[in-house]
Structure 1
Amino acid sequence: MREADESIGMAFFDVDETLLTFKSMFRFLAYHFRARGLPPEVYERAAAELRNRAAAGVPRDETNRDYYRHYSGRSVAEVAAHARAWFTTELTGGGALHEPAVEALRRHREAGAITVLVSGSFPPCLAPVRDLLGADLVVCSEPEHRTGHYTGRLIRPMIGAQKGRAAQELLARYGIPPERAAAYGDHASDLPLLRAVGHPVAVGEDPQLGSYVLEVGGSRLPGIPG
């Protein structure tokens, strides 16, 4: 897509396993529980329940809501501080960034495109990613908070069809036609996002995304090694 970079006015990027090499929501939840002094089995039970519900066919937007219940009653400031420390730890360990997608974001940014992170994750996890990569905008899940504490409820999910609608709304707001927009995603749930733009890019080997970009003449990037 290098030749087309200057024609792209807005570029959307999924985050987990697209720009990052892991699922940030799970990794951060484990860190957050450790930082609170909870034993490892608390995270293991929570993660197993989420994964089991997903394996049983529970829609992703429902498991997304289940995830945010684990922050009920926690201070917004506390979670934000944990997230900054968590991401620093991830970067220190190495291998956190998926370089093919990160390089694509950098090219779009340098060519003058508005770069947007689109994720089912939430602001504390995404703020350090945005700051590191220099993305212009973040569109993500929005957990409810009152009096400085999370309630455990989700105001706005950002999964599947919501990603596509968010991209369409942003393109309309900035007056950018879909033909001048690109989108990068790794999972079938990113298909609505890729359908919203004229330059879809499948990251990795998801068969639905692969079939779609082949059908419409989109592009592919290598996925996470292993």
Structure 2
Amino acid sequence: MSDDTRPTGGGERGSGPARSVRIAFFDVDETLIDSKSMFSFLEFHLADPDQYRAAAGKLTRAARAGVPREETNRAYYRNYAGMEQAAVAESGRRWFARERQRDGFLHQEVVRELRRLQAEGCQVALVSGSFRACLDPIAEHLGADHMLCGEPEVVAGRYTGEVRTAMIGEAKATAARALMDRSGARPEECVAYGDHASDLPLLTCVGGAGVVGDDPVLAEHADRFGWIRLPGTAGSAAVAQGTAAADPAAHPSASSSQTSETPPAPFTSSTEELTHATR
């Protein structure tokens, strides 16, 4: 389900009867991490530059044709049709282990903000159009309490290629409201952080917000409402993702990168389009 609240490794905090529940909602890609997890992970998992380039190219063409981002998000998950959920999850753990070795993968200023809120007793919810295979290791590392994300359909232990809810735009706010309602949290006491205009519904459904980077739509709202401003990620939308699509002959293959600690080279070919299409 898209608003899954199973523990992700951090456990539940603030459970005392006299303590009100506060939740801090964090977008993930280019907010907590410096890359687009869906594509960085897809390239890593496929371990085939040509196959990745074909998949990325198909999504890029759809974005250029004006296909709604909810549909391109769904199209992304068709790349996993027939794959074993457990195998993809294990690949996600290997992907995270590699990415953690790369300087800048975790956006330290935003992570410090998350730690500050945890120390104040806030529960943390990660909110992303990505999915658990690559998000669970991040959530466990950060001690997040809830995960609101895309949930690909699984039948008999294998992905079908379909996804129940595209966790994009207004869907993020809907899932956040549902979690606050279930948890007894007052929206005006909760906060949210994001980097892209598509995060605006999430940021405006709570009492406080933080803007990461310089998205003009979010910057305007931050100035108007006095939201927190945090710097953008160092490589925002151009780090550790899509290297095979950029120039597979110029970089090590994804299969070799699974066993190497050398981070992939930046990719700028169509990453911004892919980001816009699927987040």
Deviation at residue 8 of structure 1 after TM alignment = 8.2
The answer (yes or no) to whether the contact 1:101–1:221 under 8 Å persists in 2 is yes
Match for residue 51 of structure 1?
A: 60
Comparing 153-162 with 56-65, greater Cα deviation is found at 56-65
What is the CA deviation profile of residues 205-225 of structure 1, one whole-angstrom value per residue up to 9, with x for unaligned ones?
111111112222212111012
Match for residue 11 of structure 1?
A: 24
The answer (yes or no) to whether the contact 1:8–1:108 under 8 Å persists in 2 is no
CA distance in 2, matches of 1:137, 1:28: 21
Within the candidate set 21, 31, 36, 1:23 is matched to: 36
Match for residue 112 of structure 1?
A: 121
CA distance in 2, matches of 1:52, 1:181: 38
Q: What letter is aligned with 1:64? A: N
CA distance in 2, matches of 1:186, 1:89: 24
Match for residue 33 of structure 1?
A: 46
Comparing 182-191 with 171-180, greater Cα deviation is found at 171-180
Match for residue 160 of structure 2?
A: 151
Higher relative contact order (CA 8 A, sep 6+): 2
Rate the CA distance shift 1:93–1:225 in 2: closer, same or farther, 3 A: closer
Comparing 124-133 with 51-60, greater Cα deviation is found at 51-60
Secondary structure of 2:101's match? helix
> What TM-score comes out, normalization by structure 2 length?
0.75
What is the CA deviation profile of residues 161-201 of structure 1, one whole-angstrom value per residue up to 9, with x for unaligned ones?
00011111111112221211110001111011001111011
Within the candidate set 183, 187, 201, 2:210 is matched to: 201
Secondary structure of 1:153's match? strand
- Flag structure 1 segments of 5+ consecutive residues without an equivalent: 1-6
Residue correspondence of structure 1 range 61-100 to structure 2 within 5 A: 61-100=70-109
CA distance in 2, matches of 1:48, 1:217: 40
Deviation at residue 53 of structure 1 after TM alignment = 2.0
Secondary structure of 1:95's match? coil
Is 1:184 matched with 2:193?
A: yes
The answer (yes or no) to whether the contact 1:8–1:182 under 8 Å persists in 2 is no
Is 1:138 matched with 2:150?
A: no
Secondary structure of 1:166's match? helix
The answer (yes or no) to whether the contact 2:191–2:208 under 8 Å persists in 1 is yes
- Flag structure 2 segments of 5+ consecutive residues without an equivalent: 1-19, 236-279
Equivalent residue pairs, number? 217
What is the CA deviation profile of residues 73-104 of structure 1, one whole-angstrom value per residue up to 9, with x for unaligned ones?
00001100100001101112332101111111
CA distance in 1, matches of 2:212, 2:153: 31
Within the candidate set 162, 175, 200, 2:184 is matched to: 175
> What TM-score comes out, normalization by structure 1 length?
0.92
Q: What letter is aligned with 2:153? A: E
Within the candidate set 169, 173, 179, 1:160 is matched to: 169
The answer (yes or no) to whether the contact 2:170–2:201 under 8 Å persists in 1 is yes
Comparing 11-20 with 166-175, greater Cα deviation is found at 166-175
Q: Percent identity?
A: 50
Q: What letter is aligned with 1:11? A: A
